[in-house]
Every structure is written in C-alpha cells, then in structure tokens.
Amino acid sequence: MQSSHGDAAAVSAEPVRPQRPRTDTSTIDNTITHPGNVRINVKGAFIVDDEPSSPNGALGDVEGSMPQHETKDIRLPNHTAVVSHIAVDIGGSLAKLVYFSREPHSTEPGGRLNFMKFETEDIDACIKFMQRLKSKQQQLNGSQPGALCVMATGGGAFKYYDKIKEALGVEVLREDEMECLIIGLDFFITEIPCEVFTYSEADPMQFAEARTDIYPYLLVNIGSGVSMIKVSGPTAYERIGGTSLGGGTLWGLLSLMTGAKSFDEMLGMADRGDNSAVDMLVGDIYGTGYSKIGLKSTTIASSFGKVFKQKQDAEKVAEDLGGLAIGDGGAVKTRGESEKIRGTAGFASEDISRSLLYAISNNIGQIAYLQSEKHNLARIYFGGSFIRGHRQTMNTLSYAIKFWSNGQKVAYFLRHEGYLGAVGAFLKRQPRNWGRRNSVEEAMVARWKAKDDPLVDGGVEG
C-alpha cells in the first residue's frame, strides 16, 4: 500500500521570524523559584527556527548517554514570572524533559521552553541533568533546596518515583499520562504557530492554521507501543484502541537483525535502504500496477515477501558449490558488503530497516484510519517519539490515511511530537487565569460548551 520510494531527509522548517541570541543554559537566571506561583504567558509564543540546537553549556557533561536537544525551543517573549518546576515524561524507551529558561544578555522580558530527551535505560543521566538544573536554581536564585518541583508522567513516573525523589530531594508530582498527552496536544494546536503540519512527497510541509474548534479528534501516540485516544473535549477522552507494534518493535527487531546501536542509526539506515530488495511489490506479481483497484507497481504486496525465496535460492547455490560460500549463510550484511552478493542469502541492513519501517508505519496508519471511521473522527493527529520528524515515517502514515480514506482525511503531525506528555505535565502546574486566553483548560472547556450553546461565549482573549 506504500510506495517503495520516498524522500529520506530530516524535516527542517523555514524560519518564522528573526529572533534574539540563543539561551546559554549556564545562565538560567531566576527560572526555578516560588513553586505554584507561575503564570505562563503564551502571548506571542513562537518556535525558534533560526538557531542551532541547544548546547548543554555550563550545565556540564552528564555521565552516561548524552542528552539530545535537536527539537526547536519555543520562545515566550511576554512571560515575566519565574518558573519553579520542570517536567519529565518517562516512557519505555525515552525520557523527555521540558524546562523553562530566561533569555540572557537581554533587557527585554521573556524566556523559552527547552526540550531534552534521554534513553530510559540510562535514566540516571536524566536524573543527573535534573540535579544540575536544581543546582543552578540554588546558585542563581538563592532559593531553598526544596523549592524545585518535578512534574512527572508516563510509566516511569511510577517506576522511578523513589529514585527521582531520593536523588533530587524535592517534591515529585505524578500526573496521569493520557491527561497530559491531551493537555499538551491542545496547547500546541491552539497556542503555537507553525506547530501542526501535513506532509506528503509532493507537498512536504504545509502548516495548518491554529484553530479553536478542535474537537473531536483522534490522537495516535506512537512510542514503544501505540495508543489511540478519542478526544471529545478538554476533559472528555478515552483510549479506544492501539497496537503493541510500535517504536519498540522496530527498535527491537532491528537490534536483532542489524548492527544498529540506536534508534536514530536505524532511521538513518532506512534512509539509505531499498525495500524492494526484500518486499514483494505489486509489480513483482503483475509485472505492472493494478490500476483497476488503485495499486501502483511500487505498492507493497507483502512485507519481506522476497526473503524466503531468495534465501532458498541461495541455499541451493551453496549446496551446488559444496557448502556455504557466503560467510554464515544468511547473515545480515551492510549495503557495501551485500551489493556483492545481491540475490544470495545476504540482505542489506539498510533494506531490512526500510522494509520494517514501512511495515510498522503502514500497520499503524491503517488501524488509525479504521478507528477514525468507527468513531466518526475527521481529524487524526500523530504524536510520539517514534516519528522524530522522519520523512519516510510521516510519508508512510500520510499515504496510509489518504489511501484508505480515498483522500477524504489527512494525517496531522507536530514539530514537538515527542513532547506532548511532558508539555502537558509542565502545564499542569498552573494557577487559574494564566496565558493570553486565561487558563488553557478553562478556555477549552468554554469553547467546547459554546459549540452546543450559542449563548455561551467560548473565547476569552487576554
């Protein structure tokens, strides 16, 4: 159902507007004090596009796996209050961290939300990074040791609760994972310009306009596994399905079948691969496309469908030669090695990676479409750290939704797709009446009610 060809580059958006100099994390100034008093002002918020990824700066090196900060920061030019908390979403594969920092060397107010991620298997590195944030809080703000608050969500918020609390010695609040996902997504949809977009090979990145009438919708959150959540309102949501075949599946199987050591390395191999070397395509069966039912010659008829026969042929050749002459008889090869033995039992790691990425993404896309039809949901948003702005992944999911809906539905993506839960947890630490629309949650509820009652004014502009 998916074309075997696609653009393999990573997504990078065009700059939105010129911004001030980049925050040096060593100058986090008055950012973590007075817990519970913060009022996040999101008026004029925008994504910082014209600066490199944030360095760790004077926060220092963190032992263990290096934190990754390739996601663009969100500038809050009108926020003036100090922020007393950080938020972390700990999943089965990744821990995502969100924290606020001031703009250095500027007389103007404002700051930004910073986004970091760590591999969950090395949760100690994440905790050490949070300790460094805490130490800067004490050093720069003179606040008491217990002033910092950690908002935690995801399964790891429970699994590592004692570990985090003991290491930091501060209050750790555990928030419901599904609720945080919805709060985070609602915030991105309604408050952040150039956040939500559609994707296709012909039209790579088209931003969707911010909207207030967002319900109902389907959130497909792809992490280690996949959850599909029907959202009818800001406080009305339910998990309606999912699948165990998600990012963890791709990571696990490719760890067994290739020499890749990280998820990003696997995506890189998929970029360079040719799935037609292992997948059986419609063209392999018909010699051409099957236009009568809308199938191109490059449409995948069977994932890994060529492997069995090619392996049998290779074994027969080996027997005729009096033994296996290609190493270990069917071992996975790199592209350079496998080019010499194409058509034997050797398969390139790159080709396997691309085929499996397509198989898992196609499966998720079709299930998402079926759930949207069953529950009459017109809009489908894809989130989670599986996507990572990877063009092949987004193109496959988009193609699946378009194909099965006959072009009636589109897939929506987010530039901060892996941080929905962390941002939702961050926003949970809010008093009443904050932001340009007062409270995000209260405004959402008001809009939701106004949809059914013409006498209710659902929008409150600050």
Distance (Å, whole) CA 18 – CA 151: 32
- pLDDT for residue 117 is more than 70: yes
For 26-83, write each residue's pLDDT tens digit. 333 333 333 333 457 788 888 988 765 443 333 444 444 444 445 789 988 888 777 7
Phi, psi of 427 (to 5 degrees): -75, -15
Phi, psi of 190 (to 5 degrees): -95, -25
For all residues of the chain together, what is the average pLDDT? 78
Report the DSSP pairing between strands 226-233 and 217-222: antiparallel
- pLDDT for residue 375 is more than 90: yes
| CA-based nearest residue to 230, from 217, 212, 214 | 217
The helix or strand, by DSSP H or E, that contains position 301, with its residue range, turns out to be: strand 300-302
Percent of the chain at pLDDT exceeding 90: 47
Q: How confident is the model at residue 120 (pLDDT cuts 50, 70, 90)?
A: very high
- Predicted local confidence at residue 341, as pLDDT: 35
- pLDDT for residue 342 is more than 60: no
Q: Which two tokens stand for residue 34?
A: 């007075």
Q: Report, as an integer, the average pLDDT of 3-21.
A: 40
Report the DSSP pairing between strands 171-174 and 149-153: parallel
The helix or strand, by DSSP H or E, that contains position 308, with its residue range, turns out to be: helix 307-320
- pLDDT for residue 205 is more than 80: yes
- pLDDT for residue 449 is more than 70: no
Residues facing 220 on adjacent strands: 228, 382
Other C-beta atoms lying within 10 Å of the C-beta of residue 213: 10
The helix or strand, by DSSP H or E, that contains position 358, with its residue range, turns out to be: helix 349-374
- pLDDT for residue 446 is more than 80: no
CB 191 within 8 A of CB 45: yes
Percent of the chain at pLDDT exceeding 70: 71
Distance (Å, whole) CA 35 – CA 408: 47
Q: Higher-confidence residue: 435 or 163? A: 163
Residue type, 385: S
Q: Higher-confidence residue: 460 or 333? A: 333
Residue type, 346: G
Most confident of the following: 13-27, 39-53, 294-308, 350-364: 350-364
Q: Report, as an integer, the average pLDDT of 412-432.
A: 87
Q: Higher-confidence residue: 388 or 5? A: 388
- Predicted local confidence at residue 57, as pLDDT: 38
Q: Which two tokens stand for residue 265?
A: 């390395």
Phi, psi of 116 (to 5 degrees): -130, 155
Other C-beta atoms lying within 10 Å of the C-beta of residue 205: 18
| CA-based nearest residue to 187, from 67, 267, 98, 255 | 98
- pLDDT for residue 363 is more than 80: yes
Residue carrying structure tokens 């399964």:
155
Alpha-carbon torsion (386, 392, 398, 399), positive or negative: negative
- Predicted local confidence at residue 185, as pLDDT: 95
| CA-based nearest residue to 413, from 224, 154, 204 | 204
Q: Higher-confidence residue: 436 or 99? A: 99
Residue carrying structure tokens 């959202």:
231
Other C-beta atoms lying within 10 Å of the C-beta of residue 26: 15
For 248-304, write each residue's pLDDT tens digit. 999 999 999 998 888 889 999 999 999 999 999 999 899 888 888 888 898 999 999
Residue carrying structure tokens 């977009």:
197
Distance (Å, whole) CA 184 – CA 39: 16
Q: What is the DSSP code (8-state) at residue 456?
A: S
For 389-404, write each residue's pLDDT tens digit. 889 999 999 999 999 9
Q: Report, as an integer, the average pLDDT of 339-352.
A: 65
Report the DSSP pairing between strands 94-102 and 171-174: unpaired
Q: Which two tokens stand for residue 245?
A: 């075949």
Long-range pairs, 281-286, Cβ under 8 A, ≥24: 281/4
Residues facing 303 on adjacent strands: none
- Predicted local confidence at residue 118, as pLDDT: 94
Determine the 3-state secondary structure of 446 from DSSP.
Answer: helix
- Alpha carbon dihedral 184, 187, 189, 192, in 10-degree steps, equals -120
- pLDDT for residue 115 is more than 60: yes
Q: Report, as an integer, the average pLDDT of 308-337.
A: 62
- pLDDT for residue 87 is more than 90: yes
Q: Which two tokens stand for residue 394?
A: 């987004």
